């Protein structure tokens, strides 16, 4: 295997690597995947809480972020939602849609991973697992070389599908950046995205575990990023899908040493005025009760306690001691609960990462503009999607773009049969 020159060598057997492999092999290429983990697609098994949200019905350019997100559009259009659903049905993954989010009908991420692997095997893709690529280069004969502790593997072309730095436990340890850099590419600083946010405040220990519907508005200078949904409090700060959605902006701003705050609206159904009236009604109606008891049933009881304290009110004091002014202060606090964001939970907890190889240095086939035959796919390229299946969609689309180009350029087999099969 090591003396053989493959049509393409794919470094990384994750989502985009498998997509590239299947399309390259389908186009008649002999393909080798080198994967450092003990099995292919390790991260896919963990996606969508084990259910794998592999794409989304709704598609808007704003769901894909980076320095030049408009350059992702042709890639996403060339392998669209329809193509994705057809492809997965063809390889055995019947889709199920819930609120626009697509999952396998089995609701098991394993079925996505296993069908991808089976399809790659059916097309003759070869792979070696438990092998870390330590270096890449182009040799004097013009071959792409991948160095491993087992020796060097050669390809006529090469795909860097190593992922970024998010969730290194699943294999994406950032080595792809060094490979891309060694071929002359610029690397936009990778930062955690789709990640929980750490915030200042001793009260977070009290609030740990509290969930509530609400909105988060991230404030960075004059910029505002707002999302609604279920907010989750933790001892370190805030989490939940709305927080994860805006987290990449916090990451980027914190890296630039900018001040970041998050304003939480903890009661979406009432305006501040309505809320103040409701609180005042509660204060004056229950004469024998404490302020904390008067708020029971408004927000989560731990939240009520912290909100009173944050307004300088005594939770155990009789409710009647408080009037219009205190009710207004509480309503303001509930609608604009503002916390200072100090950090993210880091790459370990992140589901994606910002940065990577700039799209301006890649063609719409994900081929390097600096070095013909070199391809960069998935999260290693500078695109991060929002929650909802967009990161995997990017992995499928960018992998397909590279795989199809490789299949059409480097194939050493007759393609007729293979093209039908892919």
| Contact residues: ligand FAD, CB under 6 A | 11-17, 34-37, 42-43, 46-48, 52-53, 132-133, 161-163, 166-167, 170-173, 175-176, 351-352, 378-380, 389-392, 395
Nearer to ligand FAD, 35 or 227 (CB): 35
Q: How far is the CB of 127 from ligand FAD (least distance, A)?
A: 10
CB burial class (10 A; 0-12, 13-18, 19+) of residue 213? Answer: middle
Nearer to ligand FAD, 39 or 122 (CB): 39
Q: How far is the CB of 33 from ligand FAD (least distance, A)?
A: 9
Q: How far is the CB of 311 from ligand FAD (least distance, A)?
A: 38
Nearer to ligand FAD, 49 or 414 (CB): 49
Nearer to ligand FAD, 15 or 25 (CB): 15
Closest among 336, 303, 306, 348 to 209, alpha carbons compared: 303
Nearer to ligand FAD, 103 or 305 (CB): 103
Q: How far is the CB of 382 from ligand FAD (least distance, A)?
A: 12
Contact 401, 19 (CB under 8 A): no
Q: How far is the CB of 251 from ligand FAD (least distance, A)?
A: 15
Q: How far is the CB of 20 from ligand FAD (least distance, A)?
A: 9
Q: How far is the CB of 357 from ligand FAD (least distance, A)?
A: 11
Q: How far is the CB of 41 from ligand FAD (least distance, A)?
A: 7
Nearer to ligand FAD, 155 or 176 (CB): 176
Nearer to ligand FAD, 63 or 337 (CB): 63
Nearer to ligand FAD, 159 or 422 (CB): 159
């Amino acid at each position: 295997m090591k003396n053989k020159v493959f049509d393409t060598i794919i470094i990384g057997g994750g989502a985009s690597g498998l997509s590239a492999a299947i399309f390259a092999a389908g186009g008649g290429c002999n393909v080798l995947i080198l994967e450092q983990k003990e099995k292919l697609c390790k991260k896919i098994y963990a996606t969508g809480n084990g259910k794998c949200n592999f794409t989304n019905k709704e598609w808007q350019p704003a769901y894909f972020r980076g320095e030049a997100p408009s350059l992702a559009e042709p890639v996403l259009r060339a392998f669209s939602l329809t193509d994705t659903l057809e492809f997965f049905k063809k390889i055995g993954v019947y889709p199920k849609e819930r609120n626009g989010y697509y999952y396998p009908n089995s609701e098991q991420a394993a079925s996505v991973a296993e069908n991808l692997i089976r399809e790659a095997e059916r097309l003759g893709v070869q792979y070696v697992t438990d092998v870390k690529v330590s270096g890449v280069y182009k040799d004097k004969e013009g071959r792409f070389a991948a160095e491993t502790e087992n020796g060097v593997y050669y390809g006529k072309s090469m795909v860097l599908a190593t992922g970024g730095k998010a969730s290194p436990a699943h294999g994406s340890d950032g080595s792809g950046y060094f490979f891309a850099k060694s071929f002359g590419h610029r690397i936009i600083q990778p930062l955690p995205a789709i990640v929980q946010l750490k915030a200042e405040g001793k009260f977070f220990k009290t609030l740990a575990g509290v969930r509530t519907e609400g909105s988060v508005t991230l404030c960075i200078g004059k910029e505002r990023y707002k999302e609604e949904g279920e907010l989750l409090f933790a001892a370190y700060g805030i989490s939940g899908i709305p927080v994860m959605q805006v987290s990449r902006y916090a990451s980027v701003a914190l890296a630039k040493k900018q001040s970041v705050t998050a304003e939480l609206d903890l009661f979406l159904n009432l305006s501040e005025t309505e809320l103040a009236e409701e609180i005042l009604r509660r204060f004056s109606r229950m004469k024998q009760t404490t302020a904390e008891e008067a708020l029971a049933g408004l927000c989560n009881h731990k939240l009520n306690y912290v909100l009173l304290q944050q307004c300088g009110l005594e939770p155990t004091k009789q409710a009647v001691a408080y009037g219009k002014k205190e009710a207004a202060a509480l309503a303001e606090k509930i609608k604009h609960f503002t916390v200072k964001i100090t950090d993210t939970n880091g790459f370990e907890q992140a589901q994606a990462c910002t940065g990577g190889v700039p799209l301006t240095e890649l063609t719409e086939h994900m081929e390097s503009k600096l070095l013909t035959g070199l391809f960069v796919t998935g999260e290693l390229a500078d695109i991060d999607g929002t929650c909802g299946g967009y990161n995997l969609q990017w992995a499928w689309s960018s992998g397909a773009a590279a795989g199809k180009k490789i299949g059409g350029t480097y194939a050493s087999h007759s393609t007729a049969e293979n093209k039908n099969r892919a």
